[in-house]
Amino acid sequence: MSLSTDTRPIRFFHRGQIAEVEGAATTRSLLDWLRVDARCTGTKEGCNEGDCGACTVIVAELAERATAAPGTLVGGLSIRTVNACLQFLPTLDGKAVLTVEDLKTIAGGALHPVQQALVDCHGSQCGFCTPGFTTSLTACYERHCEAGTTPSRQQLADELSGNLCRCTGYRPILDAGQRMFELPTARLDTAPIVAALKTLSEQPPLHYAADGQQFFAPRSLDELATRFAAEPQARLVAGMTDMGLWVTKQFRELPLLISTTEVDELRRIEDGDGVLRIGAATPLEDAWRAIAARWPALEEMGLRFASLPVRHAGTMGGNVANGSPIGDSAPALMALDAALVLRRGERVRRLALDGFYLDYMKNALEPGEFVQAIEIPHGDAATTVRGYKLSKRYDCDISGLCAGFALRLDAQGSVAHVRLAFGGMAATVRRARSAEAALPGQPWTEATLEAAVTALAADFKPLTDLRASSGYRQRTAANLLRRLWLETRVEAPLPAAAISVWHRAAA
């Protein structure tokens, strides 16, 4: 196929009209554009790396093109909070950006219920994080108003996993999150946004160039595959939750970027024929909800996976392909025997995730090849699956240690199937082969467990770093196996409430 070389400006909906951008670097952040170019300074920079949430904004897409999770749909739009500091401007093309400046407009010039509730509950002190909290709560407000529901305090705290406040201690902000639903309603009028986005959707796929840099946003899988095979030196860009830092902190040059997230075929989740198939450009939030729907024990891992805005922007394929040794998805996916569908030009191949990671930040992708989908076999319904994460903080922290376990016992109580995968224990996420080998066919007793624990010591030689020491990693890797045993032992298995400080009573 032939590839278009015509460039055009970036166009997105902002403050009631279509903004058109030319000349800005392809890696210019939405945050800098808002603050410096558009002089909308309500959105703040606190860290410039997606961890503080002071720059949280709402990005809206047309519901029909977004292949979006039902929970994000509001009046014909799919709305998600993201960190503006991590969004390259061209990725906003064809979308709408809502910031704290939009709220009084929505409320007809008065304070929006979210804002009024924050004032009434004394939810701001220094005020610097407040616009970010306001936008996070607004997205929450719109979704719950749409659904006719109200969130619990626990759900509100989860919604705010990407917003740091150093002043209040959060209690008044959570109060405001409940109070906002008690005030007279003010809803986003989505009609003008929908109309504008429909107009924008008639544009050709984005090819944007500035100052020697290029950005392509193909809309079909074939076009993406062809483009990347032809220009394998290009960088694929998806959620920018890691790549954004290459620019904001490392000042790396990225002359040629190809986006994956405009390809609808990469954003589909299909669950059938014994396999859960997740398109690589599916947002992590949607992907993990689908995984947790099938394996409920993995729900907590999803909640603790980065923050909500990062899960909105970040993609499943990006997380897997990035291949961090402490990435939160890989251990669980490996325990589930997930496989990757890899595409290069017209060639499609399947590779077990277990064989994908070669060394520290090195994987089996060939030049011009990319992850198209992640396939997770349903497996045997009798298999117990667990995902355990250890970190200094519950929310939005990089794991010191992360484990994904799968275990099935036969009718006699012996181990019929086992997968023990760990992150944070080696240069890549990988399975504990020795510990696994100690288990099949053995009765699932404490003696068997301790044999696996002994074998585990030979599997890994973890490092000491700022997150955990080598010794802690060794000890807790063993203890997580013990936790698994305590939860699954034949006699008197312990319920989750007796084994995890994070256990939540059923809602």
Partner 1 sequence: MNSSTDAFIRQLAATAGEVGKALPHESAALHVAGEASYIDDLPELAGTLHAALGLSPLAHGRLLGIDLEALRALPGVVAVFSAADIPGPNDCGPIVHDDPILAEGEVHYLGQPVFAVIAADRDVARRVAARAKEFLRIEPLPAVLTAREAHAQGRYVLPPAHLTREQSPGATRAAIVSAPHRLQGSLSVGGQEQFYLEGQISYAVPLEGGALRVHCSTQHPSEMQHAVAHALLLPANAVQVECRRMGGGFGGKESQSALFACVAALAASKLRRPVKLRADRDDDFMITGRRHGFEYDWELGFDDAGRILGVEIDLISNAGFSADLSGPVMTRALCHFDNAYWLPNVSMHGYSARTNTQSNTAFRGFGGPQGAIAIECILEAVARALGKDPLEVRRANFYGVGERDLTPYGQRVEDNIAAPMVDELVAQSGYAARRGEIAAWNAQSPVLKRGLALSPVKFGISFNVKHFNQAGALVHIYTDGSVLVNHGGTEMGQGLNTKVAQVVAHELGLPLARVRCTATDTTKVANTSATAASTGADLNGKAAQDAARQLRERLAAFVAQRAGGIDAAAIRFADSQVLLPDGTPLPFDTVVADAYAERVQLWSDGFYATPGLHWNRETLQGKPFHYFAYGAAVSEVVVDTLSGEYRLLRADLLHDVGRSLNPAIDIGQVEGAFIQGMGWLTMEELVWHPQSGALLTHAPSTYKIPTANDAPPIFNTRLFEGENPADSIHRSKAVGEPPLLLAFSVWLAIRDAISAAGDHRVDPPLRAPATPEAVLDAIEVVMR
Residues 447-486 that bind partner 1 (CB under 8 A): 465-469, 472, 475-476, 479-480, 482-483, 486
Assess contact for 123 and 95: CB atoms under 8 A. no
Cα distances from 194 to residues 75, 106, 456, 495, in angstroms, run 9, 15, 55, 47
Tell me the H-state helices in 231-343: 243-248, 284-294, 299-304, 308-313, 316-322, 329-335
Which of 115, 260, 363, 383 touches partner 1 by CB under 8 A? 115
CA distances from 414 to 53, 294, 334, 447, 455 (A): 48, 25, 22, 12, 18
Cβ 125 to partner 1 shortest distance, Å? 4
Q: Is residue 111 near partner 1 by the rule CB under 8 A?
A: yes
Distance CA 107, CA 188 (A): 8
Stretch that binds partner 1, among 107-115, 260-268, 274-282, 420-428 (CB under 8 A): 107-115
Q: Name the one residue in this structure whose structure tokens are 């903004």.
A: 19
Q: Which range touches partner 1 (CB under 8 A), out of 276-284, 312-320, 386-394, 416-424? A: 386-394
* 42 forms part of the interface with partner 1 (CB under 8 A): yes
Query: Is 209 among the residues that bind partner 1 (CB under 8 A)?
Result: no
Of residues 133 and 216, the one with the C-beta less far from partner 1: 133
Tell me: does residue 166 bind partner 1 (CB under 8 A). Answer: yes
Q: How far apart are CA 459 and CA 474, in angstroms?
A: 10
And the tokens for 318?
A: 């990006």
Tell me the two tokens of residue 25.
Answer: 């670097």
Quote the least distance from Cβ 352 to partner 1, whole Å.
29
First to last CA, the chain: 52
Rounded CA separation 415/408 (Å):
6
Residues 116-145 contacting partner 1, CB under 8 A: 116, 118-131, 134
CB of 297 to partner 1, least distance (A): 16
Give residue 169's identity as a one-letter amino acid code. G
Q: Is residue 246 involved in binding partner 1 (CB under 8 A)?
A: no
Q: Which stretch binds partner 1 (CB under 8 A): 3-11, 88-96, 172-180, 221-229?
A: 172-180
CA-CA distances (angstroms) from residue 93 to 30, 179, 345, 351, 467? 11, 35, 25, 33, 37
Scanning 148-210, the segments in alpha helix (DSSP H) are: 153-159, 171-179, 191-201
Candidate ranges 152-160, 290-298, 351-359, 425-433; the one touching partner 1 (CB under 8 A): 152-160
Burial 412-425 (b: 16+ CB within 10 A, else e): eebbbbbbbbbbbb
Interacting residue with partner 1 among 94, 172, 368, 424 (CB under 8 A): 172
Determine contact, residues 62/197, Cβ cutoff 8 Å: yes
Q: Which is nearer to partner 1, 38 or 263 (CB)?
A: 38
Q: Does 82 bind partner 1 (CB under 8 A)?
A: no
Which tokens sit at 215?
């950005």
Distance (Å, whole) CA 74 – CA 88: 25
Q: Which is nearer to partner 1, 434 or 479 (CB)?
A: 479
Which of 167, 200, 453, 457 forms a contact with partner 1 (CB under 8 A)? 167
Q: Which of 12, 46, 372, 431 binds partner 1 (CB under 8 A)?
A: 46
Query: Are 75 and 143 a contacting pair, CB within 8 Å?
Result: no
308 sits near partner 1 (criterion: CB under 8 A): no
Where in 387-446 is the site for partner 1 (CB under 8 A)? Answer: 390-398, 400
Binding piece for partner 1, criterion CB under 8 A, among 40-48, 225-233, 316-324, 428-436:
40-48
Least CB distance from residue 421 to partner 1, whole Å? 17
193, 198, 202, 204: CA torsion to nearest 10: 50
Instruction: Kindly indicate which of the ranges 160-168, 289-297, 326-334, 354-362 contains the residues binding partner 1, using the contact rule CB under 8 A.
Output: 160-168
Residue from the set 82, 173, 330, 340 that interacts with partner 1 by CB under 8 A: 173
* Dihedral angle over CA of 331, 332, 338, 339, nearest 10: -40
Mapped onto helix, strand or coil, the DSSP state of residue 401 is strand
CB 47 within 8 A of CB 275: no
Instruction: Work out how close the CB of 301 gets to partner 1 at its nearest, in angstroms, rounded to a whole number.
Output: 14
Interactions with partner 1, residue window 316-345 (CB under 8 A) = none
Find the helix or strand (DSSP H, E) in which 48 lies. Answer: none
Task: Kindly state the smallest distance separating residue 201's Cβ from partner 1, in Å.
Answer: 29
In the complex with partner 1, the residue whose CB is nearer, 104 or 187, is 104
The residue range among 16-24, 161-169, 263-271, 436-444 that interacts with partner 1, by the rule CB under 8 A, is: 161-169
Find the binding residues for partner 1 in span 251-270 (CB under 8 A): 251
Q: Give the shortest CB-404-to-partner 1 separation in angstroms.
A: 16
Site size for partner 1 (CB under 8 A): 92
Least Å distance, CB 299 to partner 1, is 15
Amino acid (one-letter) located at 88: F
List 10, 26, 33, 51, residue binding partner 1 (CB under 8 A)? 51
Near partner 1 by CB under 8 A: residue from 84, 114, 321, 338: 114
44 forms part of the interface with partner 1 (CB under 8 A): yes
